[in-house]
Amino acid sequence: MEIDAEGRARQVPLPNPMKEERLHFAFSTDGRHWQPLNGNRPVWDQWLRDPFLQRGTDGIWHLLATGGERRRGTNETNLGPAFTPAKVLFAPPYSVIDGTLLEHGATYYLFHKEEEFSAKTGERRAIRLATADRLEGPYRIHEGPLNQSQIAPVITGGPAVMPDPRKPGWLLLYDYCMSNRYGISSSPDLIRWSIEEPVSLPPDARHGSVVRLTVAEAAALCSSFPEKKD
């Protein structure tokens, strides 16, 4: 669904909505142009969405994702770990999803998606930013320059932030979730953001995360999942 400029709701069909919902890898040296690995095919036959891949302090890679409890179309279950009890971290005056945290200096940056769209609010599904001095908060909502306080165009979600490989500063990657494409913005200070053009990302990519690899790790990954031709 979308809300148009007159506040009217309308259905927007997608050409291939949620076709794969499995883990894919892509590789980049500049953060702006991403080459899909494995012929842009899944690298793991497990249903999941919104993957967060990070190296732990133990040196082991850890994957956190939405789904995974049941393989699509089967009754097979995967209980996964038990977690500590949930607590409210951030409760802004709008519906919020897709949070990504970054610690830099003495500040925590919470990139998130404002999930509001109705005839009353208008189309407000896009990336926003909040900051705090402590991980637990309280978080201060940053008033961005787009669409009355956002930092990325509508309709976007799934933010991932990374150091800019080209120059001092940062890159913000986000999913244009109603048009099956990605966008990238850059910032010198994590506060002021400008849209980057041109960029290239794998077709139909949705809501990913970014990690930095060593040269040896990158070579091993590309060797394990080489480009394949149909």
Q: Is the peptide bond before 138 cis (omega within 30 degrees of 0)?
A: yes
Q: Identify the residue with better confidence: 181 or 160.
A: 160
Q: What is the pLDDT of residues 134-179, one digit of tens each?
A: 999 999 999 999 999 999 999 999 999 999 999 999 999 999 988 8
Cα separations in angstroms, 140 against 28, 79, 109, 116, 161: 33, 35, 10, 19, 19
**Can you name the residues that pair with 186 across neighbouring β-strands?**
171, 194
Q: What is the pLDDT of residues 65-74, one digit of tens each?
A: 988 655 555 5
Q: What is the pLDDT of residues 87-122, one digit of tens each?
A: 999 999 999 999 999 999 999 999 999 999 988 888
pLDDT for the residue 177: 84
**Residue 38 to residue 35: CA distance in whole angstroms:** 10
pLDDT for the residue 71: 54
Q: What is the pLDDT of residues 8-64, one digit of tens each?
A: 887 777 666 556 789 999 999 999 999 999 999 999 988 899 999 999 999 999 999
Structure tokens that stand for 86 in this block: 């949930």
| Greatest pairwise CA separation for the chain in angstroms | 53
In 3D, which of 100, 121, 125 has the Cα closest to residue 12?
Answer: 125
pLDDT for the residue 128: 98
pLDDT for the residue 67: 80
Place of tokens 């590309």: 222
- Write out the DSSP string of 133-144: SSTT-PPEEP-B
- Write out the DSSP string of 121-132: TEE--EEEEEEE
* Domain map (residue ranges) of the chain: 19-77+90-224
Cα separations in angstroms, 9 against 120, 156, 166, 177, 181: 11, 18, 41, 17, 22
205 Cβ contact list (under 8 Å, min separation 6) = 24, 26, 34, 175, 181, 182
92 Cβ contact list (under 8 Å, min separation 6) = 114, 130, 139, 141
